[in-house]
Amino acid sequence: MSHRFDNKVCLITDQQALGAASGIGRATAQKLCSLGAILALSDINGEGLSETIQLCGGGEKHLLSTFDVGLSEACNAFIKQAMERHGRIDHIFNCAGVNPTAYALEDTTDEYWDKLVNTNLKGTYNITRAAITHLKAGASIVNVSSILGVTASQNYAIYCATKFGIVGFTKAMALELGPRGIRMNAVAPGYIDTPTNSGVVEGPEGVKAMVAKVALGRLGTADEVADLVAFLFSDESRYINGSIVEINGGITRRSRAAGGQVASDNTGSESERQIIAIMNLANLPSMRSFYKVILASSRDYSDVPLQFAAHVLM
Ligand SMILES: NC(=O)c1ccc[n+]([C@@H]2O[C@H](COP(=O)([O-])OP(=O)(O)OC[C@H]3O[C@@H](n4cnc5c(N)ncnc54)[C@H](O)[C@@H]3O)[C@@H](O)[C@H]2O)c1
């Protein structure tokens, strides 16, 4: 990428890292710093913040602040501090978040709901609302959704609610801020090798299960998400607004049942399930193969009309 961020102020919420592993926020701070940015970094974990700033070469010019993004007063104070210190805010990466744990809904608690919703969703709202009046034309914001913000998965209802919520928030705010020349987009990472990814926490078996679903045959890295965020901040993405950019190496979420029948993991639309049922009932091998290609090539075919599939089968 040729774009540089010299003298641009980039604000990032999320700087923790455990051991040698890096989270997405830290990797993005390092990337932007290497491109000349002045940073305003926050995290609920002060130790992680200090480590990140050392990795960025230290320096007085960056601002660090430790607080919970779920608290609006703390977010207001951080934005005020950033304006007092740097005089401007050019780019915001709303990255602070809690990665999910698999729970049936009846096993979740008010505390779990509050933690995920207050961090993943309300934190993004708090920082954005506090910053809006200070942003000028050319500024941009990137939020973090997830693969679980664009497709559902059982036992992750609360995390999905927050990450689907980020998608709606991003698209609506892109319309609200666009006329002022300010862009908002979101990244939707798949399985990224960070210390709190639930599969990574689970260990080698968890990692193997994730990798098995990735067409590129490996987990993504925090650096690869950082490259995308830097691109979305840059002028090279100047016409991208309100987009949810998936970064997942190509994910297949469908399994194929024995006997050539197409099986669904129940995450598809009602029309998709009906189409699959018709294919199987009709027992037409060539049509099933055709539909498998569609399934394999795209996750976003929920608008395929049932009538069309029925017509093709006639
Ligand atoms: N790793 C993945 O596979 C993946 C996939 C999709 C989306 N994401 C999202 O990317 C973002 C970064 O995740 P990561 O994998 O780098 O994990 P991470 O745990 O390294 O980063 C999350 C950061 O958020 C901070 N944080 C948590 N609660 C906070 C709060 N209340 N206030 C302020 N900071 C808080 C943590 O201290 C941590 O530094 C999250 O929003 C996560 O949901 C991650």
Q: What is the pLDDT of residue 273?
A: 57
Pocket residues for ligand 1 (CB within 6 Å)?
Answer: 13-16, 23-25, 43-45, 48, 68-70, 95-99, 119-120, 123, 144, 146, 189, 191-192, 194-197
Residue 105 per-residue DSSP state: G
* Local confidence band at 67 (pLDDT 50, 70, 90 cut-offs): very high
Domains delineated in the chain: 9-247 (3.40.50.720), 258-313 (no CATH)
Q: What is the pLDDT of residue 260?
A: 32
Q: What is the pLDDT of residue 263?
A: 37
Residues comprising the chain, all counted = 314
The model's pLDDT over 249-281, given as tens digits with 9 standing for 90+, comes to 999 865 333 333 333 344 455 555 566 566 556
Mean pLDDT lowest for which of 41-50, 72-81, 294-303? 294-303
Task: Kindly name the residue from 125, 156, 159, 291 that is annotated as catalytic.
Answer: 159
Residue nearest to atom 41 of ligand 1 (CA): 97
Active site residue 291: no
Q: How many CB atoms lie within 10 A of CB 205?
A: 9
Query: Span 57-62, mean pLDDT?
Result: 86
Mean pLDDT lowest for which of 3-17, 92-106, 160-174, 188-202? 3-17
Rounded to the nearest integer, the mean pLDDT of the chain is 86
What ligand 1 atom has the least distance to the C-alpha of 97? 41
Q: Is 270 left (phi over 0), alpha (psi -120 to 50) or beta?
A: alpha
pTM value is 0.84
Query: Span 141-155, mean pLDDT?
Result: 97
Angle, alpha carbons 68-72-75 (nearest 5°): 65
Ligand 1: which of 99, 115, 228 to mutate, most ligand atoms within 8 Å of CB? 99
Q: What is the pLDDT of residue 269?
A: 54
